[in-house]
Amino acid sequence: MPDSRVMRILALLPAFPGSEPNSTRLCEVAAEVTSMSGAGIMLIAGEVSQGSLCSSNRVSAAIEDLQFTLGEGPCIDAYHHERPVLEPDLADPDAARWLAFSPLAVQAGVRAVFGFPMETGRVRLGALNLYRDQPGALTADQHADSLVMAEIAARAVVAMQATAAPGALPPALESLASLQAVVHQASGMVSAQLGVTVGDGLLRMRAFAFGNERGLDDVAKDIVARRLRFDEQ
């Protein structure tokens, strides 16, 4: 994909592709080259978010956490629809969507949000999330830079895995694997407690986390540690 736009972005990522890229730097560069207030990268597999690989600042981290906890938002839609999802005014959209995510994101300081699917070849890995603290659509250049950045991020994730020892995860992905394992185990426990499917168990966990203003990961840890049971709610 070498062209002037790609080379300009790669010049800001000296570790890529020669060695494992720094995940935080990926998000910082994404925000910088697109002139956004912040950026985040969410990894997704199948129907389930694996969590945030990186975020460029506190608000970006909050956006990623909201999407992981609620199971909705621009990254989720961009991944599943395999196309950019653009919302230039989250506080006053043309059509209401993300009924749980939107008001909380606006409260965190987000006015415009944009999700771009991350894929390499036929493999989808997640989505790049960009936000701005002022409303407004992307310019043609910003949109083009975002598409390139999403592709570079996808290749970076693949490069991270390639640098790991056989059978091991790279350090940048270990925490996500651990988080996902806890959430999956907790979903199974809720499924057994309530006699529902594992998918419905995850939905119950998301609803509980949202209703109690908690992160999904914290709720999952309490369930696994048997500090919280759903058949006692």
Q: Where in the chain is the domain with CATH 1.10.10?
A: 171-232
Answer whether 188's CB lies under 8 Å from 201's CB.
Answer: yes
pTM score over 0.75: yes
pLDDT of residue 36: 97
Residues 50, 60: Cα–Cα separation, whole Å: 16
* Cα–Cα distance for residue pair 118/125, rounded to 1 Å: 6
pLDDT tens for each residue of 206-218: 888 878 888 888 8
| pLDDT for the residue 205 | 82
Query: Where are the domain boundaries for CATH 3.30.450.40 in the chain?
Result: 4-162
End-to-end CA distance of the chain: 53
Structure tokens at 166: 């056989």
Strand (E) positions, 4-138? 38-45, 48-55, 85-87, 112-120, 123-132
* Chain mean pLDDT for the chain: 84
**What pLDDT does 56 receive?**
93
Q: What CATH number is given for 171-232 in this structure? A: 1.10.10
Domain 4-162 has CATH 2.102.10.10: no
pLDDT (0 to 100) of residue 107 = 93
Instruction: Give the whole-number percent of the chain exceeding pLDDT 90.
Output: 41
Q: Report how far residue 189's alpha carbon sits from residue 218's, in angstroms, rounded to the nearest whole number.
A: 15
Task: Report pLDDT digits (tens) over 115-169.
Answer: 999 988 778 889 999 999 999 999 999 999 999 999 998 888 887 766 555 544 4
